[in-house]
Amino acid sequence: MPELPEVHTIVTDLKRFIPGLKIKDVWTDILAFKKIKKDVVNEKIISVERRGKNILIDITGNKTILVHQKMTGHLMYGKWKKEKSGWKSILSGAMHDDPANRFIHLIFFLSNNNQLALCDMRKFASVTVLPKKILKEKLKKLGPEPFDKNLNLKKFSENIKRKKGKIKIVLMDQSVIAGIGNIYADEILWSAGVHPLTTTSKLKNDDIKKIYKSIKPVLNRAIKARGSSYIDYRDAEGKKGRYQEMQNAYGLKGKKCKKKGCDGIIEKIVVGGRGTHFCPKHQIKYG
């Protein structure tokens, strides 16, 4: 599932392309998306922002297109043509050649004759159009952003301690902190040296501090790499990110731990139904 670095990358890309353009038409083969057309056609795109894992496309009429890409979705900006086998990219390169970009299920036709398309192999992505007032209420459930200047160590510690459970699950709780999912929870805990099964009640203050101090560097590194294409994430130009080439824990079962001086071997377990990777040597569990 695209997490903060992947969503940030797509939003940053789209900010270059679509603000100021009008939506001229909509095509979709998903019944739940059919009602979108009447709410967006002839509206102008004002801005593109991110909140947690959500993409927010503000349009005229005091409305926002809310996109959650879920498991396999990604938004792309380009040009496609309809063929019997589906929509095909007119543009050369990754958009055309990478098979991960062929699952087009929603297209916004824009006033510059380009298109904004949702590619989603498993068709789990959510796209809705909401009045800004309703959107504001909906997003209230989300916790602070990792890069929010008001999220200091004290606030972060309070958020962690008020939740009971294993730290891996709590770190992925969007009401605690927004944007972190399975990949980056593993990476953050690896960096902090905290075992994913450690319960929040057993965390020492120093552990919470290490987790807090690991969050921004891990996410910044992933953003710089334009996200992780460990499976099927692609950016707005249909290209892979590079973070999967530099991951320290996630997806590395059986590999030697990369931490300097550590001779551990990365293990994989299931925590809260999610595949979880960690080093049993330097990631200490307190219970």
Whether 237 is a known active-site residue: answer no
Q: Are 54 and 67 in contact (CB under 8 A)?
A: yes
Give the C-alpha separation, 56 to 58, whole Å.
6
pLDDT at 237: 96
Mean per-residue pLDDT for 38-67? 98
Mean per-residue pLDDT for 165-175? 97
Q: Backbone dihedral region of 104: left (phi > 0), alpha (psi from -120 to 50 degrees) or beta?
A: beta
Catalytic residue among 3, 6, 63, 144: 3
- Which domains occur in the chain, in start order? 4-139 (3.20.190.10), 153-278 (1.10.8.50)
Q: Does residue 122 register a pLDDT over 90?
A: yes
Decide: helix, strand or coil at residue 58.
strand
Q: What is the pLDDT of residues 127-138, one digit of tens each?
A: 999 999 999 999
Whether 137 is a known active-site residue: answer no
Q: What is the pLDDT of residues 73-112, one digit of tens each?
A: 999 999 999 999 899 999 999 999 999 999 999 999 999 9
Structural tokens at position 62: 């005091």
Mean per-residue pLDDT for 7-12? 98
Q: What is the pLDDT of residues 22-36, one digit of tens each?
A: 999 999 999 999 999
Q: What is the pLDDT of residues 245-267, one digit of tens each?
A: 999 999 999 999 999 999 999 99
In the sheet that holds 126-131, the strands lie side by side as 45-51, 54-59, 63-68, 126-131
Q: Backbone dihedral region of 212: left (phi > 0), alpha (psi from -120 to 50 degrees) or beta?
A: alpha
Structural tokens at position 111: 């006033």
Whether 221 is a known active-site residue: answer no
Q: What is the pLDDT of residues 229-248, one digit of tens each?
A: 988 899 999 999 999 999 99
Position 1 confidence tier, pLDDT thresholds 50, 70, 90: confident
Catalytic residue among 24, 88, 274, 281: 274
Structural tokens at position 82: 């309809």
Q: What is the pLDDT of residues 263-285, one digit of tens each?
A: 999 999 999 999 999 999 999 88
Mean per-residue pLDDT for 9-15? 98
Q: What is the pLDDT of residues 195-227, one digit of tens each?
A: 999 999 999 999 999 999 999 999 999 999 999
Strand segments, DSSP code E, in 90-217 are 104-110, 115-120, 126-131
Q: Are 182 and 1 in contact (CB under 8 A)?
A: yes
Q: Are 23 and 110 in contact (CB under 8 A)?
A: yes
Give the C-alpha separation, 274 to 278, whole Å.
13
Q: pTM here? A: 0.96
Q: Are 43 and 215 in contact (CB under 8 A)?
A: no
pLDDT at 286: 86
Of the candidates 287, 285, 267, 274, which has an alpha carbon nearest to the alpha carbon of residue 192?
285
Give the C-alpha separation, 34 to 138, whole Å.
22
Whether 217 is a known active-site residue: answer no
Position 287 confidence tier, pLDDT thresholds 50, 70, 90: confident
Q: Does residue 125 register a pLDDT over 80?
A: yes
pLDDT at 230: 86
CA distances 82 to 88, 107, 246, Å, are 6, 11, 37
Give the C-alpha separation, 78 to 92, whole Å.
10
pLDDT at 76: 98
CA dihedral for 41, 59, 119, 116, sign (positive or negative): positive
pLDDT at 221: 98
Q: Does residue 64 register a pLDDT over 80?
A: yes
Give the C-alpha separation, 105 to 91, whole Å.
18
